[in-house]
């Protein structure tokens, strides 16, 4: 029952709904699956382990921050498009916090991290100019509070590995990073970002952030994994060339390429290959960064 029934039905209306809900449902499933790890990293930050919190971030310690990489007009062509894409996730997150379902995902008796706000930081070199200065509210005005107090999307027109030059919009430490239909295997422009993520450690805000990558096919998802492994191996060699670093593992695969239960049900037509393409059809998860940062 409910909106997720669209992923189980074959009617035209259900297929159309699955395309609209795929990103939000994928985010929701990722948060559920990774919540023990997300919670652990948040507790370590608050306690001062692994990375130092700025005064600004201490005030934002009740904010769940998700970075969505490599975005363009597909996600940001209009406010309506953006809300349709990730608005359902904000509402799900609020309901999950209110119901306590995330608390049941805890693997220890430690107190669950308190969260009352959600920030989606959307970045990419092709994020359109018109949206850069905006903060878009993802909760409807009639929304009944009880979970999230606020949920907003903010925007950065940059490649992920490059410094943020927008002084008015600081980049918050991510709890989760996601790249939808990234095509890492086909674009060398992803390699500097992957290398940056592999080498982020210590008090770097990006160190060992859980990273989800989706793909149009399971084959492309596997190709993405090969590129990630290759970049991580190259990063290890660079570290070993410095006397300050050992040969720490820089890429931990949290789960291997597999079918995503919340793939779009609408085929994406392409003339280049015979196999069928669907948005977010397959996915995988990684921790990128020195293993000592994840402990």
Residue-wise pLDDT tens digits, 62-106: 999 999 999 988 888 899 999 999 999 999 999 999 888 887 766
Terminal alpha carbon distance of the chain: 40
Give tens-digit pLDDT for 151-167. Answer: 999 999 999 988 777 65
Residue 28 has pLDDT above 60, yes or no: yes
Would you state the pLDDT for residue 162? 86
pTM equals 0.89
Q: What percent of the chain has pLDDT over 70?
A: 81
Residue 110 has pLDDT above 50, yes or no: yes
Would you state the pLDDT for residue 52? 46
**pLDDT-wise least confident of 56-60, 100-104, 266-270:** 56-60
Would you state the pLDDT for residue 118? 96
Confidence of residue 199 (pLDDT cuts 50, 70, 90): confident
> Residue 248: how many CA atoms within 13 Å on its side-chain side?
22
- Distance, in Å, from the CA atom of 48 to the CA atom of 13, rounded to the nearest integer, reads 49
Q: How many C-beta neighbours within 10 Å does residue 277 have? A: 17
Residue 294 has pLDDT above 50, yes or no: no
Closest CA to 225 of 236, 206, 212: 212
């Amino acid at each position: 029952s409910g909106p997720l029934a669209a992923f189980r039905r074959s009617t035209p209306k259900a297929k159309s709904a699955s395309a609209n809900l795929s990103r939000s449902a994928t985010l929701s499933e990722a948060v559920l699956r990774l919540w023990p790890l997300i919670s652990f990293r948040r507790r370590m930050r608050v306690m001062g382990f692994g990375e130092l919190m700025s005064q600004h971030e201490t005030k934002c310690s009740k904010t769940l921050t998700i970075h969505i990489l490599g975005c363009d007009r597909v996600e940001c062509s209009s406010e309506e498009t953006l809300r349709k894409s990730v608005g359902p996730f904000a509402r799900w997150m609020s309901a999950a916090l209110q119901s306590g379902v995330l608390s049941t995902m805890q693997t220890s008796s430690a107190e669950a991290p308190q969260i009352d706000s959600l920030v989606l930081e959307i970045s990419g070199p092709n994020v359109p100019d018109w949206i850069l200065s905006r903060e878009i509210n993802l909760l409807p005005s009639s929304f009944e509070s009880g979970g999230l107090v606020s949920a907003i999307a903010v925007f950065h027109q940059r490649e992920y590995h490059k410094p943020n030059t927008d002084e008015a919009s600081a980049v918050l430490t991510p709890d989760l990073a996601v790249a939808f239909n990234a095509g890492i295997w086909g674009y060398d422009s992803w390699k500097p970002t992957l290398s940056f993520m592999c080498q982020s450690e210590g008090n770097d805000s990006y160190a060992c952030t859980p990273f989800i990558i989706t793909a149009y096919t399971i084959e492309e998802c596997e190709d993405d994994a090969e590129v990630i492994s290759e970049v991580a191996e190259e990063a290890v060699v660079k570290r070993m060339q410095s006397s300050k670093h050992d040969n720490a593992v820089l890429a931990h695969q949290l789960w291997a390429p597999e079918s995503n239960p919340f793939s779009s049900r609408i085929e994406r037509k392409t003339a280049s290959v015979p196999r069928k393409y669907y948005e977010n059809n397959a996915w995988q998860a990684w921790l990128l960064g020195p293993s000592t940062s994840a402990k």
